[in-house]
Amino acid sequence: MKLIQLTCVFMSLVAQAQNTEKLLYDHFNPIHLQEFETTVFYSQVDILNSEFGLHKSKIASIFKLQNRTFQFAYHQYGYQHFKESKYSLSSAQELTSKMNLGLNINVHFLSITELEKLHSISFDIGYSYKSDTYEIRLFLENPLNNRYIENDLESRFIVSSRYYWNSNLFSELQLEESIHSGFKVSHQLEYTYKDFLSLSILQSIHTLEYGFRLGYKKERFQFYSQYRKLTWTNSTGFALIYRLTND
Amino acid sequence: MTRFFYIILIANFSCIAQDFTKQWTYLETINEQSLSNDIVDVWEYYYQNPINLNKLTQLYQLRELNLLSEKELRIITLHCQSQELISIYQLQALDIPLSALKRIKDFIYIPLKNTPIISTNKPRIYLGVQFQSPQRNGTINGTYIGSPIKSHLRYRTPLIKGWRLGLNWEKDLGEPIWYQNKGANNLALNLTYKGKGKLRKVLIGKYDMSIGEGLLFGTSYRINNPYFLSYKPTSITKSTLSSKEYNYFEGAAAQWRIRNTDINVFASHRYLNGNSSIDKSGLFRTKKEIENLKTYKENLIGIQLGRNHKQNTFSWAGIVYNSEFYNAKNRFLQSAYASKSYYNITYSGEFALQNLDDWAVLQKVNISVSDNSLFTVQFRSRTDSLFNDYRSDYSSYSNGYENGFYWSFQHNFNKKWQFRLACDYFKSNSVKTTEPHSPKGNKIFSEILRLSEQRKFTLQYQYKKIEESEHINKLRLVYQEEFSEQIRWNTKLNLIRENKILNSSLQTNFYWKSLNNKNKINFSFCLFNTESESIYWQAPYFYGSYNSRFLSGKGNTSSLSFQKKIDRSLKAGMQITVLSYYDRDVIGIGNAMIESNTKMEISIYLKCLIKNKSH
């Protein structure tokens, strides 16, 4: 029975070789790139405050070059008078069959009305260990605390683990230590129905936040809709993912 | 022949060992804050003076290693008491995890016709240096008298017929090697003798002393985990080559054993540091700091008589203590200790007396149920004017809280899971001038532990409440996984909540070793974010340099270390530690200030085993 269960989970991992929902995290851990074999384009928008247009958006492409997977992404955060943008180039390296190491190189631009434009460079490091039923990931965001002026770029350290209960269900626990927002522990539970419909429940224990995400897959397209209750606002998000070839 | 083979085998293992990573990692999971160079000194001592499992009097010293659980200790002790072993590998037949036996393997032996093991009879040298960048203000402006390099030399060698010589010389950053008119900086020189006749032990030099439960004297290393007291006195005096600059004695001690009675005689003469109070920092870098060096004469002379018979122990000690810091008046201190085991119940108690006026008492009962549960109750009380300078580290047992009642319960659900719970209630018995006049409080500590060969998981919760002050909640989580034979990873989460403010740190460590075990690389990263309480941080194990500190504020710290075994007798290592703050422009104050928010420490060591042709 255990063998059957393990086989199912393993098959599910193969089926989910391109776990696209991992692209939708608040942070992008570059080790995820190791799971992408085909070219992918995706775009994501989170509306944080519709009254004055505060939003967070991302447009990115994942592609292979000389047998190595890269991602080039453009991120934007802000509203009319405050815009922070970031260009990221990411890649990952397989260390062993179970371990991966990844790197993001980011160029940041800050534009505030009537103020001088600022820019900065930072990097992030990701690491993962994957076994048949679980996965452990680390993410060091801006470990050298690079900045525009002083402590204005986020610096985080995230440890997360994912456990596959069966072929359709996994849960993920994430411990996050941030210089800006302190400690946070969050949990996610995702159920996939017949590989085309998925539902995730997101919850943070400290600070108390919650939300859900619905995903739908149709041939090469995937569509995600997300709602999150954050401590300071309600966020509504959408994401569209397009693969150049089928799985 | 078989025994000879085993001894050669153990000797070979021992030759290439003396790397305490396994032991360090075990304690790291249990209680990180108890890790210090003192415990490594204990391990080194027993590495060179291994415990003879066939000697009942030495068997109890297994406890001092702090590497076995109560249950494991009990099983080994009972087994060794019931039969004479011919090999340490016979312990594998016991119901004890192999990992536990691996941890103590280097410290135990079975002798051939009572001949001490030969592998330890080799001189060893350790040389370590550490320097910082950027340099401190005291170095830049010349206020620090010594060089900005911390250096450490340690040498141990056997002499003839059971005699050994040890030397430890350490100077901190900014300190000179030699002080004018005040001699060498933190130099310890030890001469020890270990015999098999009536004269069992002679110590000359720096030593630790532990009497009874430690109400008066308890300077030996004991795991500073105040909530699961598993202390049992073993040796009264023990030579130390630790670099500690306080909490030790210096002089001579001897032990005789006549039938079942031990007679210990000891004397100490040294100078304490300080001015209006005893200086325990051990830092003497500027002219002003050096004025506090060796200022008060301290003398001590005493005798201890102890008798061990079956499961019973009785001892009495009389000590005359004199210190210029306390108006040079002699204090006559006495300690009476008794311990008795009756089936699964063990009672132990100590009564201490000072000049027939002040007293202290501690009584403890341990009850074990099957092999899986242990219940401990302890009561302690003392007058507040009792001598308090060298007592053991008890839970909340200071001049502020002289009375206490403690109980703890631990249960092993199975071979992997363990649960522990302890409560400690404490109260002052001297009336304070300000409110609360008789402060009291309590602490609760609980722990869930899962230990297997591949994974270790510890979840600890501590609650502390002291009258008229904020409650403190502490949560600590440690998870460790062996990814492969070569790679080990762990993560540690520390949360401290006080007055609705959360202080936190998240740390991760990687340990890699090569297939031939000759190269080791460790990497550690920790991000911390605190406002009201500092958080303890411990770098991965690196021989000779125990980079641990309390972190407060916002920032990160990382370390990278590389250790290489060049050949069987030479080992070298380098560690780089970087501490970077996000919430300040400079680190420290005064002469210790660094004009940057980032500092880097580089530690290098060389460890050498000198080949001895006579063996």
Residue A200's pLDDT band (boundaries 50, 70, 90)? very high
Mind telling me how many Å the CA of B535 is from chain A's nearest CA?
A: 14
| A chain contacts of residue B554, beta-carbon cutoff 8 Å | 179
Q: For residues B525 and A143, what is the distance between their CA atoms, to the nearest angstrom?
A: 9
Task: Find the residue in A nearest to B497 (Cα).
Answer: A183
Mind telling me how many Å the CA of A93 is from chain B's nearest CA?
A: 17
- What pLDDT is recorded for position B333? 95
- The answer, for A101 touching chain B at a CB cutoff of 8 Å, is no
- What pLDDT is recorded for position B557? 94
- Given a cut of 50, is residue A148 above it in pLDDT? yes
Residues B258-270 have a mean pLDDT of: 92
Structure tokens, B112: 């051939």
Domain boundaries, chain B: 1-30+51-116
Residue with the bigger pLDDT between B57 and A241: it is A241
Strand, coil or helix: what is B169? strand
Q: Cα B322 to chain center, whole Å?
A: 27
**Contact B506/A144, CB-based, under 8 Å?**
no
Q: For residues B246 and B282, what is the distance between their CA atoms, to the nearest angstrom?
A: 8
Residues B438-464 have a mean pLDDT of: 89
User: Would you give the DSSP letter of residue B540?
Assistant: P
**Contact B527/A182, CB-based, under 8 Å?**
no
- Tens digits of residue pLDDT in A214-228: 999 988 899 999 999
Mind telling me how many Å the CA of A210 is from chain B's nearest CA?
A: 20
DSSP readout, B306-372?
Answer: EEEETTEEEEEEEEEEEEGGGTT--EEEEEEEEEEEETTEEEEEEEEEETTTEEEEEEEEEEEETTT
- Given a cut of 70, is residue A247 above it in pLDDT? no
Task: Find the residue in B nearest to A158 (Cα).
Answer: B506
Highest mean pLDDT among A17-31, A221-235, B422-436, B532-546: A221-235
Residue A195's pLDDT band (boundaries 50, 70, 90)? confident
- What pLDDT is recorded for position B83? 78
β-strand partners of A90? A71, A104
- What pLDDT is recorded for position B10? 40
Mean pLDDT (chain A) is 88
User: Would you give the DSSP letter of residue B173?
Assistant: T
Residue with the bigger pLDDT between B184 and B231: it is B184
Mind telling me how many Å the CA of A138 is from chain B's nearest CA?
A: 9
Residue with the bigger pLDDT between B562 and B609: it is B562
Task: Find the residue in A nearest to B582 (Cα).
Answer: A151
φ, ψ (nearest 5 deg) of residue B49: -125, 70
- What pLDDT is recorded for position B228? 61
| A chain contacts of residue B483, beta-carbon cutoff 8 Å | 98-99, 129
Q: Considering the entire predicted model, what is its pTM?
A: 0.83
Rg (CA), chain B: 24
Mind telling me how many Å the CA of B604 is from chain A's nearest CA?
A: 24
| A chain contacts of residue B525, beta-carbon cutoff 8 Å | 140, 143, 157
Structure tokens, A35: 């799971």
Least reliable range by pLDDT among A7-16, A131-140, A204-213, B524-533 = A7-16
Q: For residues B168 and B153, what is the distance between their CA atoms, to the nearest angstrom?
A: 6
Mean pLDDT (chain B) is 85
Residue with the bigger pLDDT between A122 and B64: it is A122
Mind telling me how many Å the CA of B588 is from chain A's nearest CA?
A: 20
- What pLDDT is recorded for position B37? 67
- Tens digits of residue pLDDT in B51-96: 888 887 777 778 878 888 877 888 888 888 777 887 788 788 787 8
| B chain contacts of residue A157, beta-carbon cutoff 8 Å | 506, 508, 525-527, 556
**Contact B527/A177, CB-based, under 8 Å?**
yes
Task: Find the residue in B nearest to A183 (Cα).
Answer: B504
Residues B255-269 have a mean pLDDT of: 92
> Residue A68 in contact with residue A91, Cβ under 8 Å?
yes
- What pLDDT is recorded for position B335? 94
**Contact B504/A156, CB-based, under 8 Å?**
no
- What pLDDT is recorded for position B34? 61
Structure tokens, B214: 């430690």
Q: For residues B269 and B248, what is the distance between their CA atoms, to the nearest angstrom?
A: 11
- Tens digits of residue pLDDT in B547-582: 778 899 999 999 999 999 998 889 999 999 999 999
- What pLDDT is recorded for position B9? 40
Share of residues in chain B with pLDDT > 90 (%): 41
**Contact B529/A98, CB-based, under 8 Å?**
no
- What pLDDT is recorded for position B415? 80
- The answer, for A3 touching chain B at a CB cutoff of 8 Å, is no
Q: What is the CATH code of the structural domain delimited by A2-243?
A: 2.40.160.40
**Contact A159/B583, CB-based, under 8 Å?**
no
Residues B246-261 have a mean pLDDT of: 91
Predicted interface score ipTM higher than 0.90: no
- Tens digits of residue pLDDT in B91-118: 887 878 888 888 888 888 887 654 544 4
Structure tokens, A24: 């939708």
Structure tokens, B359: 């007293």
- Given a cut of 60, is residue B1 above it in pLDDT? no
Residue B276's pLDDT band (boundaries 50, 70, 90)? confident
